[in-house]
C-alpha cells in the first residue's frame, strides 16, 4: 500500500487516573504466590512492566475514547463538522450492539454526514483503522477523519486475579497462560488524518504492509466464561515466537513497498507486549533498539492503544522531529501484523 495525499494531523490521548503497580497485583495474589512458592517481583521481571493505568470504576470504552478524540480534534484546529469519518478500533467496546462508534460520535458532536463504524482486530485495530481511513482519503471520499480507541482492562485483570485465587489446582506450569492478562493496562488515544489537498500538515503517511499468519490463531484467545467474567488464555512463549516471525515477514514486505532501508528510519513505535518481546523483535529484524521509543514499563500492554499512544507521547517528548521517518509496527493475536511508514 502506498499513499500520496494522506496527512497525519494530530494525536490526542488520555491516561487513566489510577496507577497500579505489578507489586500491587502480586500483593493481591499473595496466597497463590505463597502456595506455589513464586518469588516476589516475578511479574515485573518477566514483563518489564512496573505499572499500568486503570480508569475510575464504571468508565466505558466510548467515554475514554471520546476524551482522547476531543483532544485530537482540538489540536487539529478542525471543528466537529469537518470530520467525515470516525472509527473506533479498541478491543474493548460498550456493548455488542450498537457500535461503540455511535456513542463516541454523539459525545463529540460530529456531523450526521460522518460515516461511523467499529473495527475489531485485537491489538492491531488502530493501525487497521489508519489503513481504512487512508484508503478513503486517497480515493477522495474523505477530507478529514478520526481513529479512536479506548481500552478498559479493569474487568480482565480483576477476573484473572479472582480466578487464580479460586483455583486450588494451579501449578507453576498451569498459571503461565494467565500471566499475560496481568500485563494489560487501560488508556485511550485518537488520531486525526486528512487529505493534504485540503490541508497539508507536512506529516505524510507514506505507505505500509501487512501479513497474516492465522495458523497460529489459537495462541491467545479471550472472551467471557459461563459466569460472564472476562478471561484470556495466552501461550506467551509461542505467541512471542510466532508474532516475531510474522512481524519479520511484514518488515520485509514494508521495505520492498516503501523502498526505505533500516538506517533511514529514525524512530520505531511498536505495539508493546513485554521487554523480552521487544529485545527479540529488534534482534530478529536487525534493527537498532536505541531507536525504539517505549512506554511499556509505565503503561503496560494497552491493546490497540499501545502503538499509537507511544507515538503520540514520543512526538510530545521530541523523539520525532520534522523531516524524520518513523515506522509504526503492530502485531495482533490471530496472528497478523501491520507496519506503516510516516515522514514527519
Catalytic residues: 97, 123
* Dihedral sign (CA 87, 91, 95, 97): positive
Contact at 8 Å (CB) between 254 and 341? Answer: yes
How far is the C-alpha of 329 from the C-alpha of 340, rounded, in Å? Answer: 7
Strand spans (E) along the chain = 6-14, 18-21, 51-54, 85-88, 115-118, 144-151, 187-195, 204-212, 220-224, 230-234, 267-270, 292-293, 325-332, 336-343
Cell of 314: 514520543
How many whole angstroms separate alpha carbon 271 and alpha carbon 332?
A: 9
C-alpha count within 13 angstroms, C-beta hemisphere, residue 227: 8
Amino acid at each position: 500500500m502506498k499513499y500520496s495525499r494522506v496527512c497525519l494531523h494530530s494525536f490526542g490521548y488520555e491516561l487513566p487516573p489510577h496507577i497500579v503497580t505489578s507489586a500491587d497485583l502480586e500483593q493481591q495474589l499473595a496466597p497463590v504466590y505463597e502456595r506455589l512458592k513464586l518469588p516476589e517481583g516475578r511479574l515485573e521481571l518477566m514483563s518489564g512492566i512496573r505499572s499500568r493505568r486503570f480508569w475510575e470504576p464504571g468508565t466505558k470504552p466510548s467515554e475514554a475514547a471520546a476524551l482522547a478524540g476531543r483532544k485530537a480534534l482540538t489540536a487539529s484546529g478542525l471543528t466537529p463538522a469537518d470530520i467525515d469519518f470516525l472509527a473506533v478500533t479498541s478491543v474493548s467496546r460498550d456493548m455488542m450492539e450498537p457500535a461503540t462508534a455511535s456513542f463516541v460520535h454523539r459525545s463529540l458532536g460530529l456531523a450526521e454526514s460522518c460515516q461511523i463504524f467499529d473495527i475489531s482486530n485485537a491489538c492491531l485495530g488502530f493501525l487497521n483503522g489508519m489503513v481504512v481511513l487512508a484508503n478513503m482519503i486517497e480515493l477522495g471520499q474523505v477530507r478529514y477523519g478520526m481513529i479512536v480507541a479506548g481500552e478498559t482492562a479493569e474487568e480482565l485483570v480483576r477476573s484473572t486475579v479472582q480466578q487464580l485465587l479460586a483455583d486450588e489446582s494451579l501449578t507453576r506450569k498451569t498459571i503461565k497462560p494467565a500471566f499475560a492478562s496481568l500485563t494489560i493496562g487501560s488508556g485511550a488515544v485518537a488520531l486525526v488524518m486528512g487529505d493534504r489537498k485540503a490541508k497539508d500538515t507536512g506529516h505524510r503517511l507514506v505507505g505500509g504492509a501487512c501479513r497474516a499468519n492465522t495458523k497460529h490463531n489459537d495462541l491467545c484467545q479471550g472472551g467471557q466464561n459461563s459466569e460472564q467474567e472476562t478471561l484470556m488464555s495466552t501461550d506467551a512463549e509461542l505467541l512471542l515466537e510466532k508474532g516475531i516471525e510474522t512481524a519479520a515477514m511484514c518488515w520485509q514486505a514494508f521495505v520492498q513497498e516503501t523502498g526505505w532501508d533500516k538506517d533511514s528510519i529514525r524512530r520505531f513505535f511498536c505495539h508493546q507486549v513485554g521487554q523480552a518481546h521487544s529485545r527479540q523483535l529488534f534482534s530478529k529484524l536487525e534493527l537498532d533498539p536505541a531507536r525504539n521509543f517505549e512506554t511499556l514499563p509505565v503503561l503496560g500492554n494497552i491493546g490497540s492503544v499501545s502503538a499509537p499512544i507511544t507515538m503520540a507521547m514520543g512526538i510530545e517528548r521530541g523523539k520525532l522531529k520534522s523531516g524524520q521517518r518513523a515506522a509504526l509496527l503492530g502485531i495482533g493475536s490471530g496472528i497478523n501484523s501491520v507496519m506503516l511508514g510516516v515522514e514527519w
